[in-house]
Amino acid sequence: MKSAPFEYVRPKSVAEASVALGRRGATTAAIAGGQSLMPMLGLRVALIDLLVDISRLDDLKIVAKTPDSLWLGALTTHATIEDGKVPDMFNGLMRRVAGQISYRAVRNHGTIGGSVALADPAADWPCCLIALDASVRVAGRGGMRMERVADFIHDSYATTLTTGDIIMGFDIPAPKAAFCWGFAKVARKSGAFAHSIAIATSQGKGGPISVVLGAAGPRPRPMTATATQLGVLGSSEEQLRTAIAADFDAHFTDLDAYQKRLHTANILRAVKDMRAQ
C-alpha cells in the first residue's frame, strides 16, 4: 500500500492550480481531503505524475446563504455539514446524509467536491445533490461553467471534468415551501459504501416531489414515475411498487430480482420517512 512516486505542488490560487493540472504530457490529479484518492494511489489503481494540492485554496471554502440558494464551496467537509456548521435550508437532510458517510476521521477530511468529482456510483453526495437539483460550478481552461449535478455526472466514475478543471462548489436552490425528506441507506456495516441509497423529498402540500435512487447503477437517477405516483392522492402501495418497477425498467435495467427487492424496500422506507415528517 505504498504509492508510486509522484511530484507534488501546492498552488496559491485556483488559476495556478488549473495550469498545474493541465501540465502537458503529465497525468495529474487534484487532492482535497484525499480520503478516496489516497487509497487509490496506494493500491496503484490511480497512477499519476503530479499531485496538485488544492486543499488550502480559500476560494473553494466559501459558504454563503441567500434567500434563494445555498452555496457550498467544494472543500466543505462532511464533518462540517454533519455538525451543522454550515447553514441548513433542507430541514436537516444534508446533516443526516453527511453523518452516515464512512467514519468520523474520514468525514473530518473528505470533501463534498471530492465526492462529486470521483462520482462513485455508491457515494452519498451525488444522490443527495441530484435530489436537491443542485448545480456545480467548474473553473477550467474555458473559464467558468455551471452544470446541473444530474448532467455533470454522466456515468460510473465519469463526469464532464476535463484536464485543468476544478470544482469550485455547489449552488443548491432553496425549497419553495415546507421541505420534507426521507433518506434510506442499506450498507453491510455502518460507514461502508451503500448497496442502496434512496432519497425522497417534497416541498409543501401538493408541491413538487422527487425520488432519487443511488448505488443501483452507474449513477444516481431520479425515479420519475415513482415521484409522479406519489403526487396522486391516495396512491396504494401496490401502485407505488408498479411505478418503482417502471423506473427500474427505464433507468436500472441490470438489476437482478434480489436487487429489485432491496431497492424497492429502501425506496419505500425513504417515502415513509418523508411522509412522516
Told to check if 35 binds other proteins by CB under 8 A, we report yes
Q: Which is nearer to other proteins, 105 or 146 (CB)?
A: 105
Q: Which of residues 163-202 bind other proteins (CB under 8 A)?
A: 189-191
Q: Where are the beta strands (DSSP E) in the chain?
A: 7-9, 28-31, 50-53, 63-65, 69-73, 135-140, 143-148, 153-155, 158-159, 166-173, 179-186, 196-203, 209-214, 221-222
The torsion of the CA quartet 33, 36, 42, 45, rounded to 10 degrees, works out to: -140
Told to check if 258 binds other proteins by CB under 8 A, we report no
Told to check if 143 binds other proteins by CB under 8 A, we report no
Among 17, 21, 41, 97, which residue sits at the site for other proteins (rule: CB under 8 A)? 41
Among 38, 186, 246, 265, which residue sits at the site for other proteins (rule: CB under 8 A)? 38
Told to check if 205 binds other proteins by CB under 8 A, we report no
Among 60, 72, 79, 123, which residue sits at the site for other proteins (rule: CB under 8 A)? 79
Among 31, 94, 122, 128, which residue sits at the site for other proteins (rule: CB under 8 A)? 31
Count of residues that bind other proteins according to CB under 8 A: 31
Q: Which is nearer to other proteins, 8 or 258 (CB)?
A: 8
User: CB of residue 182 vs other proteins: minimum separation in angstroms?
Assistant: 20
Told to check if 57 binds other proteins by CB under 8 A, we report no
User: CB of residue 82 vs other proteins: minimum separation in angstroms?
Assistant: 10
Q: Which is nearer to other proteins, 55 or 242 (CB)?
A: 55
By CB neighbour count within 10 A (0-12 exposed, 13-18 middle, 19+ buried), where does 179 fall? buried
3-state helix, strand, coil in the chain (%, to 5): 35, 25, 40
Tell me how far apart the alpha carbons of residues 43 and 2 are, in angstroms, rounded to a whole number: 7
Q: Read off the C-alpha cell for 138.
A: 467548474
The residues, any chain, with a CB within 8 Å of residue 236's CB and separated by 6 or more, are: none
Q: Which is nearer to other proteins, 108 or 259 (CB)?
A: 108
Told to check if 20 binds other proteins by CB under 8 A, we report no
Distance separating the N- and C-terminal Cα atoms of the chain: 46
Q: How far is CA 158 from the centre of its chain?
A: 13
Told to check if 6 binds other proteins by CB under 8 A, we report yes
146 bridge partner residues: 137
Angle subtended at Cα 67 by Cα 61 and Cα 71, rounded to the nearest 5 degrees: 20
Q: Which of 138, 227, 148 minimizes the C-alpha distance to 182? A: 227
Q: Which is nearer to other proteins, 77 or 135 (CB)?
A: 77
Among 105, 144, 177, 232, which residue sits at the site for other proteins (rule: CB under 8 A)? 105
Residues that bind other proteins (CB under 8 A): 1-8, 10, 31, 34-35, 38-39, 41-43, 51, 53, 55, 79, 102-106, 108-109, 189-191
